[in-house]
Structure 1
Amino acid sequence: MSDIPEITNNNDSIKINGMYQDWFLDYASYVILERAVPSVVDGFKPVHRRILHAMKDLDDGRYNKVANIVGHTMQYHPHGDASISDAIVQIGQKDLLIDTQGNWGNILTGDSAAASRYIEARLTKFALEVVFNPKTTEWQLSYDGRKKEPVNLPVKFPMVLAQGAEGIAVGLSTKILPHNFNELIEASIKHLEGKKFKLFPDFPTAGIIDVSAYNDGLRGGKVRIRAKISARDKNTLVISEIPYSTNTTSLIESILKANDKGKIKIKKIEDNTSSSVEILVHIPSSISPDKTIDALYAFTNCEVSISPLSCVITDDKPHFLGVSELLKISTNHTVDLLKAELEIKLSELENQWHFLSLEKIFIENRIYRDIEEEETWEGVIQAIDRGLKPFIKHLKRQVTEDDITRLTEIKIKRISKFDLDKAQQKIEALEGEIEQVKYNLANLITFAIDYFKNLKSKYGKGRERQSEIRLFEDIEASKVVIRNTKLYVNRKEGFIGTSLKKEEYVTDCSDIDDIICFTESGLMMVTKVDTKTFIGKNIIYTNIFKRKDKRTIYNIIYRDGKTGHNFMKRFSVTSITRDRAYDITQGKAGSKVLYFSANPNGEAEVVNIQLRQKKGLKKLKFDLDFKDLAIKGRGVKGNIVTKLPIKRAELKEEGVSTLKPRKIWFDDTVRRLNTDERGELLGAFKGNDRLLIVRQNGIVKTIIPEITTHFENDVIVLEKWQPKKPISVIYWEGEKQRYYLKRFLIEQTDKEEQVITDHPDSQLELISTDYRPQIEIEFIKQKGKDRKPNQIINAEEFIAIKGIKAQGNQLTADKVKQINALEPLKHELDDMESKDFNDESENNSSHESQVSLF
């Protein structure tokens, strides 16, 4: 019982035995090593390391509820869920390792994040690339011995300097300030090149910083941080950036406190902060704005000082190291990790080369025939070993029994289809890769520099310096330009993204679009536009996904993997859970999509089916018409096409829409189309119907009406296009100084055409889309002559329909005062076009019958 304190009533003193003497040191060591201070190796505290490890366990590319991540982390972290949840929010708010979704709080206003059950997270692409590699990770048992966790994560980046760290232990604390992402990479490159570098903090709240006393982040250093304040006018100051470690609430409280103490004089404060800081400080007209700015710095939190203290765990002990030394250690550790990865890759490549060479020898020299008469396993092994010996002198290592065993596992089908040339090409390709890896190992520093440069090019955009260093250099925080981006697809490997610029271009997109993808195996997924996302191998279709889109109909024919029967179905996708995989087949292994089409207006095509040759089968070809099939949900089984194997399914005839024509309006206020009955009704549009657009500059074109289309302010004609309806144009020809009239039809629907001459003085005067337009010409009165009476011209009689590039006929040689459009003459087709849109809709309603061919 020596561990129990001995208390004597007759004496005021209490004797403290071994429990307090030993356990206090144990507790202090535990708090320092296991809770408060980050490791120099990966830059993480244990809780952060375990969170990231747990997120990697859960990672499938989709978001996970933070509550789920917290529960998973508790398998590794022997503490409460609140501490884990708070740590996740801290990492997420730094916007480097965790991709967040939901309300994660606001570091500017101090608002806290929503409860963990409401917010979601996943690892960023950067984290997946830089933080994890199981092949180079040292593992240990978790606290209860049930799981394995990393001793340190193999981080190939100075993470502790990028994120910063703060913690209080027993008799010890650490405060490492965050630094700029790109500057850390540049410093690492300089270190590898043997050049000198300097590092200074950079804060997510921006502000102006004085780092003259930074002292490389060691004890005794200091960083002064000021808010960015400017005078909007003589009575209003604007605070647009705040110091690190403050928020708008605490900043305003300090200003009000200083005002109450008589340090400064203000009238009122307005906080308009949302995504960026805007605090308006209204001051009396008798107070100088410049003096008030100085007073704000002197008496409020508009200026704060932070004393850094760079302490990390090295060799299981706390050490005080400057940020320059931390960067050097991290960079050197990155080089070691890159070397280890290259060595592992080299070993794997050499093993592949070894076995491919053995396989080539085994098949090329028909050694497999030597085992035909062997009756025992030992005899088989020995026979192969004897057969290989004359051909293995060029191999780089001994042939083991495991190698021979692998040779015996080669299938006869593979042997029969073995191609020596292809095998040799694979071996030579591997030799090229091996040489490249060896070259990288021999030039490891150059390889590491290229690695850091690649990180900067991939992840450095949008991470420019935010805090302005006033004393050393004036650095303006660059604004991120919002620009259009393009979507690409690697169909075979199953990747989509905006960074795959060498792959197949799909469409223009924005970073807020969702993308829908279908694979040959029948997988469907909707995901957000990203730089690179894995969907599944053999992508057969990808495009922008529109929620609640009932007009885009997908027609498919697929083979069921279980029964081998072939089915067809039509369906729309109106709503979906992002990043969730859906089966458009029955989900059986081996299922395959044989035919697929995406139809923006519900088109139903005719498909020709060719069956595989089979004894007794006479009819090998037949047609399917998708219009005979009802449109149902994506989860339906579909209608059976045939139980026989299909050799090929090919488009035979383009289809027409089976949906009702869609009525489209034009809202002139926002210059956009809509289906919500706002603005002018343009007509009821079927799948192939187009809009006619004529601009004031004489550009004529037709387009498929899309709700997202934006129209310029100079559009003078916007209507449903009638392909057989002539367009009549009167224009002023700049070179000849005369008016011309021309009539034409649009023949190239996807091409912009200029209908006036390209002379700089040419301009469009009047345009009509009536069948038989009439115009009135008013003439200028000539000196000494009576004014010529107005002339009425029937355009149909004046000029025949010619090509769009034709100059047309001169309208008149006299000087014209004005040209007016009159009521057009009656045409027999006018009555047909004026019929109600509902009649057209009813005549084109979708069929509800079903089809079963076999």
Structure 2
Amino acid sequence: MIEEGDDLINEQDEPQETITRVTGMYKDWFLDYASYVILERAVPAIEDGFKPVQRRIMHSMKDLDDGRYNKVANIVGHTMQYHPHGDASIADAMVQIGQKDLLIDTQGNWGNILTGDGAAASRYIEARLSKFALDVVYNPKITEWQASYDGRRKEPINLPVMFPLLLAQGGEGIAVGLSTKILPHNFIELIDASVKHLQGKRFTLVPDFPTAGIADFSNYNDGLRGGKVRVRAKISQLDKNTLVITELPYGTNTSSLIDSILKANDKGKIKVKRIEDNTAAQVEILVHLPAGLSPDKTIDALYAFTSCESSISPLGCVIEDNKPLFIGVSEMLRRSTDNTVQLLKQDLEIKLGEFEEQWHFASLERIFIENRVYRDIEEEETWEGVIQAIDKGLQPHIKHLKRAVTEDDIVRLTEIRIKRISKFDIDKAQQKIDALEEQIAQIKHHLEHLIDYAIAYFTRLKKEYGEGRERKTEIRTFDDVDATKVVIRNTKLYVNREEGFVGTSLKRDEYVCDCSDIDDVIVFTKNGSMMVTKVDSKTFVGKDIIHVAVFKKKDKRTIYNLIYRDGKGGPSYIKRFNVTSVTRDREYDLTNGNKGSTLLYFSANPNGEAEVVTILLRQAGSIKKLKWDIDFADILIKGRQSKGNLVTKYTIKKVELKEKGVSTLKPRKIWFDETVQRLNVDGRGELLGEFRGEDKLLIINQKGVVKTVTPEVTLHFDNDMIVLEKWIPKKPVSAIYYNGERELYYVKRFLIENEGREESFIPEHENSRLEIVSTDWLPMAEVEFVKERGKDRKENLEVNLEEFIAIKGISAIGNQLTKDKVKQINLLDPLPFEEPEEVHADDLEVVDEDIIEGDEESDESQTTLF
């Protein structure tokens, strides 16, 4: 038996062949296969931005190009002469190029990237090269060629693409052992960046997606490994019960997006009544909500639980010199731009050579005819004699030529027809030579100023092809959505206090509250322990549960008040604390840690309430004072691990609630971060003011719609918002608007009487528009008038709006501003006014700077700003 790897010897002991180990075979084959997939299928080349199949498609389309449309099936068949794979892969690749709307001019049903619909069969759709492709992709004179896979034809090694095409189209592929994902970038921005690179300036590139949407590129990392792009659908509120999605995140379509919404609805993460897909040329998905559901929270829930937000990890990998290269998009653009400059140089040099050859022969032809050199050959009987005679005749006249006269030049002179000689015009010949000299001089100038020539080239591309290619994707920095704050609580939480179980399956036990499966639960037991655990069907947390609730991470508003006895017969202590973060499923001891400690009193206060309790002692020895009151407001809020303040060293018989508490938290400061268009309490952006529980925000947009809302971090704001501030109910809104129906300007001042209702304060006419709006006490405006022909310009008018009109209802038309033609209305600085000071009955001493004040609520209430 022959062992694996041994040499096979025949009977005459002559070596015939060697058997290679199987492992060796697989090693070589796998490496060959991996190299083939990487180089020939999945990864684009940095030189032209094409994968091999794409390059062959483009080459075939140029072969077939006659200005008219060709059936895609014909193009696919023609491409198979160069491509060693089947027609399906070629057709799919061609559809992907066509859908990017850059290189191929399409006709027929090429599918829809918005809906995910596929293209029609290749025999039904047609294509031809776009003008842009013909302009920047092809130049046979500077193209390097190689034999096709079967040796019958020649195909380009790389196409001479003079544009950062790979970044414009994007590209992705999965090879063996590596992958690539280059995101598409904006056409105009790429040209601008190329120009900046040529000028030696810095530039920054971020993607631009054909599906538009909103994107956060703060972690893009130049498209290198480790970067991340967050993309979102554009969602707005159509009315109080309807949301509309008008733009999609990259990588999704309307079908997959709607499926993800329905799945989230089935899982109870969000609540949706029904969905309408009205997408045609533009995306329009209507999401109808049940009555009473917050549209703003639902928008956040869509981002948190559906494909309305997704994360893309770019990976810049290209082929250079038959090797994979990991590279950022900025470096890709630099190399592409530098390559374009070299291609432009080669093209100029080729044109220069052609024009110089034309000039050389035109000059030689003129000498040949003008000096009648052709007569010198009349007596010659041999071809060699003819050549020598012409050469001799030319010699006295060729000193100004830029190169020597060759035999080929003389042969070409002999081919001139008699008719051409007889009709030769010296002036026209000289004009042709002069024109060639001008072209040669121009090309030499371009070569000497190559960078300027390249900048002019890119500028021309932008001018000719940039129209309609403006940025589609809105650049924005996203605020993280807290899933626990926007999830629909579709499950009920129960507790068995005595046995120490909490969960959603204990339906025979005490109901606690509604919850969701992503919530955490905080539990306190009588022995002074605390635990936070994830919602489950049934979890043991410790016997004698005294309080259970859904846990809010980083919640500084909920204050826990407790009195505990330290050990079996030890002293009693009082403490106040909040719980902002803990380790899940870890038991925390809120007492001093001595065995036998127990809680004597406990309350959870969602708005920082501080109640008054009565302490009752047991009669023992010579104790004189057996009863007194303690106000929790006198106790500082500290960490949960603090020992607390001493209540008494004697045994407490009972602790009774004497008086329900009021909030000891100061008003909450709220900021608006314009970058992410969201409210926050972290000090980011513009301070809107200090808010108590009853305070509202005033919002006015450019359409003349006003509303007041409770300030919540889940609020969304439209791009046309022009006023966002703390609402002072007694402070009027002043506005000047154009009445489209009456074609006049009006002034009005009004108070907002219907809290929480969205109302329009300008007439509903297509030509009506809001000019200025002010929430100042004494606003001033300036009116500029149109100069009428034959009349002097009317002086600008300053208007004190407070004196101009009294405060009326929001639906009032107002007073006419002027009958003259108005050019412009400007809002001036308001007159000085001392605003009335806000007085609140519940203004209390600040207990802790980190804690914030809210409404007066009972122990079980949970009314908070956020």
- The 8 Å contact of residues 242 and 287 in structure 2, kept in 1 or not, is answered as yes
Residue 98 of structure 1: aligned partner: 104
1:88 lines up with 2:94 in the alignment: yes
Read off the aligned partner of 1:47 and give its amino acid letter: V
Residue 39 of structure 2: aligned partner: 33
Read off the aligned partner of 1:298 and give its amino acid letter: A
Residue 392 of structure 2: aligned partner: 386
5+ residue gaps, structure 2: 7-19, 479-789, 791-866
Q: Provide the identity percentage.
A: 77
- The 8 Å contact of residues 177 and 308 in structure 1, kept in 2 or not, is answered as yes
Residue 263 of structure 1: aligned partner: 269
- The 8 Å contact of residues 213 and 234 in structure 2, kept in 1 or not, is answered as yes
1:436 lines up with 2:434 in the alignment: no
Q: Deviations over 1:817-851 (max 9, x none)?
A: xxxxxxxxxxxxxxxxxxxxxxxxxxxxxxxxxxx
| Matches of 1:83 and 1:67, distance apart in 2 | 12
The TM-score, its normalising length taken from structure 1, stands at 0.54
1:129 lines up with 2:135 in the alignment: yes
Residue 765 of structure 1: aligned partner: none
| Matches of 1:464 and 1:18, distance apart in 2 | 55
Q: Aligned-pair distance for 1:16?
A: 2.7
1:370 lines up with 2:376 in the alignment: yes
Q: Aligned-pair distance for 1:45?
A: 0.3
Residue 239 of structure 1: aligned partner: 245
Read off the aligned partner of 1:352 and give its amino acid letter: Q
Residue 426 of structure 1: aligned partner: 432
Q: In structure 2, which of residues 141, 144, 148 is the aligned counterpart of residue 142 of structure 1? A: 148
Residue 287 of structure 2: aligned partner: 281
1:187 lines up with 2:193 in the alignment: yes
Residue 164 of structure 1: aligned partner: 170
Q: Deviations over 1:247-274 (max 9, x none)?
A: 0000000000001111111100000000
Q: Deviations over 1:494-541 (max 9, x none)?
A: xxxxxxxxxxxxxxxxxxxxxxxxxxxxxxxxxxxxxxxxxxxxxxxx
| Matches of 2:228 and 2:432, distance apart in 1 | 60
1:213 lines up with 2:219 in the alignment: yes
Read off the aligned partner of 2:441 and give its amino acid letter: E
Read off the aligned partner of 1:204 and give its amino acid letter: P
| Matches of 1:5 and 1:239, distance apart in 2 | 66
Residue 396 of structure 1: aligned partner: 402
| Matches of 1:5 and 1:168, distance apart in 2 | 35
Residue 619 of structure 2: aligned partner: none
1:450 lines up with 2:456 in the alignment: yes
Q: Aligned-pair distance for 1:284?
A: 1.2
Residue 46 of structure 1: aligned partner: 52
- The 8 Å contact of residues 2 and 17 in structure 1, kept in 2 or not, is answered as no
Write out aligned runs for 1:109-124 (5 A). Answer: 109-124=115-130
Q: Deviations over 1:791-819 (max 9, x none)?
A: xxxxxxxxxxxxxxxxxxxxxxxxxxxxx
Q: Deviations over 1:218-241 (max 9, x none)?
A: 000000000000001000100000
Residue 346 of structure 2: aligned partner: 340
| Matches of 2:288 and 2:355, distance apart in 1 | 70
Residue 16 of structure 1: aligned partner: 22
Residue 360 of structure 2: aligned partner: 354
- The 8 Å contact of residues 265 and 284 in structure 1, kept in 2 or not, is answered as yes
The structure having more radius of gyration, on CA atoms, is: 2
Read off the aligned partner of 1:40 and give its amino acid letter: I
Where 1:35 maps in the other structure, the secondary structure is helix
| Matches of 1:3 and 1:358, distance apart in 2 | 79
- The 8 Å contact of residues 103 and 114 in structure 1, kept in 2 or not, is answered as yes
Q: Aligned-pair distance for 1:471?
A: 3.5
| Matches of 2:39 and 2:233, distance apart in 1 | 36
Q: In structure 2, which of residues 75, 83, 91 is the aligned counterpart of residue 77 of structure 1? A: 83
Residue 563 of structure 1: aligned partner: none
Report the CA distance shift for 1:186/1:110 in structure 2 as closer, same or farther (over 3 A).
Answer: same
Read off the aligned partner of 2:430 and give its amino acid letter: Q
| Matches of 2:320 and 2:365, distance apart in 1 | 48
Q: Aligned-pair distance for 1:4?
A: 9.2
Report the CA distance shift for 1:3/1:269 in structure 2 as closer, same or farther (over 3 A).
Answer: farther
| Matches of 1:80 and 1:423, distance apart in 2 | 56
1:196 lines up with 2:214 in the alignment: no
1:406 lines up with 2:412 in the alignment: yes
The TM-score, its normalising length taken from structure 2, stands at 0.53
1:303 lines up with 2:309 in the alignment: yes
Q: Deviations over 1:98-129 (max 9, x none)?
A: 11000000000000000000000111000011
Read off the aligned partner of 1:211 and give its amino acid letter: F
Write out aligned runs for 1:776-787 (5 A). Answer: none
5+ residue gaps, structure 1: 7-13, 473-759, 761-854
| Matches of 2:49 and 2:2, distance apart in 1 | 41
Report the CA distance shift for 1:436/1:292 in structure 2 as closer, same or farther (over 3 A).
Answer: same
Read off the aligned partner of 1:244 and give its amino acid letter: Y
Q: Aligned-pair distance for 1:90?
A: 0.2
Where 1:231 maps in the other structure, the secondary structure is strand
Where 1:75 maps in the other structure, the secondary structure is coil
Residue 651 of structure 1: aligned partner: none
Question: RMSD of aligned C-alpha atoms?
Answer: 1.9
| Matches of 2:79 and 2:4, distance apart in 1 | 36
- The 8 Å contact of residues 179 and 317 in structure 2, kept in 1 or not, is answered as yes
Read off the aligned partner of 2:270 and give its amino acid letter: I
Residue 550 of structure 1: aligned partner: none
- The 8 Å contact of residues 2 and 18 in structure 1, kept in 2 or not, is answered as no
- The 8 Å contact of residues 4 and 21 in structure 2, kept in 1 or not, is answered as no
- The 8 Å contact of residues 385 and 404 in structure 1, kept in 2 or not, is answered as yes
Q: Deviations over 1:348-406 (max 9, x none)?
A: 00000000000010111111111111111111111110010000000000000010111
| Matches of 1:105 and 1:431, distance apart in 2 | 52
Where 1:436 maps in the other structure, the secondary structure is helix
Q: Aligned-pair distance for 1:2?
A: 11
Q: Aligned-pair distance for 1:192?
A: 0.3
- The 8 Å contact of residues 222 and 328 in structure 2, kept in 1 or not, is answered as yes
Where 2:350 maps in the other structure, the secondary structure is helix
- The 8 Å contact of residues 224 and 326 in structure 2, kept in 1 or not, is answered as yes
| Matches of 2:4 and 2:400, distance apart in 1 | 73
Read off the aligned partner of 1:434 and give its amino acid letter: I
Where 1:167 maps in the other structure, the secondary structure is strand
| Matches of 1:301 and 1:202, distance apart in 2 | 19
Q: Aligned-pair distance for 1:49?
A: 0.3
Where 1:342 maps in the other structure, the secondary structure is helix
Q: Aligned-pair distance for 1:188?
A: 0.3
- The 8 Å contact of residues 165 and 175 in structure 1, kept in 2 or not, is answered as yes
Where 1:95 maps in the other structure, the secondary structure is coil
- The 8 Å contact of residues 158 and 184 in structure 1, kept in 2 or not, is answered as yes
- The 8 Å contact of residues 4 and 17 in structure 1, kept in 2 or not, is answered as no
Q: Aligned-pair distance for 1:19?
A: 1.6
Q: Aligned-pair distance for 1:17?
A: 3.5
| Matches of 2:371 and 2:152, distance apart in 1 | 51
| Matches of 1:199 and 1:369, distance apart in 2 | 68
